[in-house]
Amino acid sequence: MSEINTYKYYVGGKFAESNSGNLIDIECPYEKTVIGRVQAISKEEADVAIAATKSAQKEWAELDLFKRADLLNKWADQLEIDAHDIAEIIMKEVGKTWNDAVKEVTRTAEFIRYTVQEYIHTNDSAMSGENYPGGSKNKIAIIKRIPLGTVLAISPFNYPVNLSVAKLAPALISGNAVVFKPATQGAISAVKIIESFDKVGFPANVLQLITGKGSDIGDYVSEHEGIDMISFTGGATTGRHLSSFSTMKPMVLELGGKDPAIVCEDADIDQAVTEIMSGAYSYSGQRCTAIKRVLVNEAVADELAAKLKVEVEALSVGMPIDNPVIVPLINKGSADYVDGLITDTIKDGATLLVGNKREDNLIYPTLFDHVTTDMRLAWEEPFGPVLPIIRVKSDEEAIKIANQSEYGLQASVFSRNFSRAVAIAGKIEAGSVQINGRTERGPDHFPFLGVKNSGMGVHGISKTIDAMTREKLLIINL
Ligand code: NAP
């Protein structure tokens, strides 16, 4: 039997073991073996990590921008060099397919390079020269954006590299220091990207990686007076909890969703089927922007349901190394939850078209027709491969059901009539509405946001930089 690796946390520019002596086993979601152990750091160690960012941040912010840019670009290069090593961990740790794991790393390297360019062009060029003349007063105000200080970056399990670096890179290029708390199931992937970071030669203490369960250290670090801003991606319950005590602390929350695909009777049904299939089922639906319900006009519901059924039956199911669409879910708790939703939906009288089969954490792709608004599946986020079809009589009814959700991340509208689609989109309560396309994050420089329980504030490269900086005025009295 091969020895199990123990991964260290990262503080003061070095990898370290926690004095707590506590380690957390990380189990592969599909092989059910322990693939490594991460440190459960103590609150005192979190204190030390946060305190050390303070002077490091000031020096980092004063460092020539092109030196900061150069280091970040080198990190991007290093991630590409280490891509296979990192992808292997992503696959084993969060059960993402091999191809998607590799893509996640290369997309992340591109993200860093874009972020660097964006910052240089918007914050260090003529475009950044905002000023306010003082009118009848003999004054002029020159506006500069400055970093907030120490950013706490908390990321979820499902994109352990991309959604982490989507916080780290904008924070660093704009002169902040970072305390990075990854999802525990995702913490080895986090160590791997910080190993790449470490090879490049950033100054010590500008980025600290702290590992440990959110339930143990999450509240402590989030409330910590040394944290100047929180960038969080994860579930709505955790996000709401964090926002309940974030007094006077800027915070951006990217949370869950129940994204609807609204299909009008004049839609190109084949196109809608293609988009719904990749929107709903890729990575077994473990995407915040997965299509999680279909609201279809009853005039075309039979055709849409029949075509979706054929496609769902044909979905590949298996282990991540073979690159299927459907892979085992992240853990037993998630699989139990999705299983329970399926059982209740059958009990409640919906028509099961495909699925309702489970092997351990592997939930086979499941499709329901005739789901109604009194069923849990109409409202809850499964984070698994189960899709409800809800039949509606009109656009108004589709909009009403879409907006009754507690969530408002994204939505899709399928119609050949552009004016009609735009009119529906205008009435949907969501951060973004896709016309004739699946719900998805990206390209990464697009603004990305959710309303209601789907989030607060805006992400997307330039918007994240804005959220992690603030205006400072220099007022010259003439
Ligand atoms: P989660 O359980 O809410 O965890 C997210 C992060 O919060 C993890 O790092 C977790 O650490 C940490 N955490 C837990 N309790 C905490 C506390 N009291 N204080 C501070 N941090 C705490 O979410 P998940 O299961 O990883 O991710 C799935 C959810 O994220 C879904 O709802 C999905 O829709 C959403 N998501 C949203 C977006 C978006 O952009 N809108 C993107 C991806 C995912 P531990 O792992 O140690 O508990």
Q: What percent of the chain has pLDDT over 90?
A: 95
Residue 181 pLDDT: 98
Helix (H, G, I), strand (E, B) or coil at 355: coil
Q: Report yes or no: 202 and 71 within 8 Å, Cβ to Cβ.
A: yes
Helix (H, G, I), strand (E, B) or coil at 206: coil
Tokens at 54, concatenated: 């303070």
Q: Which amino acid is it at 356?
A: N
Q: What is the mean pLDDT of residues 441-462?
A: 96
| Test site for ligand 1: of 41, 232, 287, 288, most ligand atoms within 8 A of the Cβ | 288
Q: Is 13 in the pocket of ligand 1 (CB under 6 A)?
A: no
Q: What is the mean pLDDT of residues 358-374?
A: 98
Residue 442 pLDDT: 84
Q: Which residue has the tokens 């009853």?
A: 298
Q: Which domains can be identified in the chain, with CATH numbers? A: 6-255+455-477 (3.40.605.10), 259-452 (3.40.309.10)
Q: Is the pLDDT of residue 215 over 70?
A: yes
Catalytic pick among 45, 254, 275, 381: 254
Helices 418-427 & 395-404, crossing angle to 10 degrees? 30
Q: What is the pLDDT of residues 277-302, one digit of tens each?
A: 999 999 999 999 999 999 999 999 99
Atom of ligand 1 nearest to the CA of 454: 41
Residue 214 binned pLDDT confidence (cut-offs 50, 70, 90):
very high
Residue 395 binned pLDDT confidence (cut-offs 50, 70, 90):
very high
Tokens at 253, concatenated: 């929350």
| Test site for ligand 1: of 24, 152, 157, 410, most ligand atoms within 8 A of the Cβ | 157
Q: Report yes or no: 157 and 94 within 8 Å, Cβ to Cβ.
A: yes
Q: What is the pLDDT of residues 48-60, one digit of tens each?
A: 999 999 999 999 9
Enumerate long-range contacts of 393-400, CB under 8 Å, 24 or more apart: 393/297, 393/298, 394/297, 395/262, 395/264, 395/297, 395/420, 395/423, 395/424, 398/260, 398/262, 398/295, 398/297, 398/424, 399/262, 399/424, 399/427, 399/428
Q: Is the pLDDT of residue 1 over 60?
A: no
Q: What is the mean pLDDT of residues 40-48?
A: 98
Residue 247 binned pLDDT confidence (cut-offs 50, 70, 90):
confident
Is 3 tagged catalytic? Answer: no
Residue 123 pLDDT: 82
Residue 322 pLDDT: 98
Q: Is 407 in the pocket of ligand 1 (CB under 6 A)?
A: no
Q: Is the pLDDT of residue 127 over 70?
A: no
Measured in Å, residue 238 CA sits from the centre of ligand 1 at: 6
Q: Is 213 in the pocket of ligand 1 (CB under 6 A)?
A: yes
Q: What is the pLDDT of residues 158-204, one digit of tens each?
A: 999 999 999 999 999 999 999 999 999 999 999 999 999 999 999 99
| Test site for ligand 1: of 209, 210, 233, most ligand atoms within 8 A of the Cβ | 233
Q: Is 179 in the pocket of ligand 1 (CB under 6 A)?
A: no
Measured in Å, residue 183 CA sits from the centre of ligand 1 at: 7
Q: What is the mean pLDDT of residues 429-458?
A: 96
Q: What is the mean pLDDT of residues 70-97?
A: 98
Q: Is the pLDDT of residue 360 over 90?
A: yes
Residue of minimum CA distance from atom 26 in ligand 1:
156
Contacts of 310 by beta carbon, 8 Å cutoff, 6+ apart: none
Q: Is 408 in the pocket of ligand 1 (CB under 6 A)?
A: no
Q: What mean pLDDT is reported for the chain? A: 97
Q: What is the mean pLDDT of residues 251-264?
A: 98
Q: Which amino acid is it at 282?
A: S
Measured in Å, residue 64 CA sits from the centre of ligand 1 at: 35
Residue 124 pLDDT: 73
Residue of minimum CA distance from atom 40 in ligand 1:
254
Q: What is the mean pLDDT of residues 365-370?
A: 98
Tokens at 287, concatenated: 């995407």
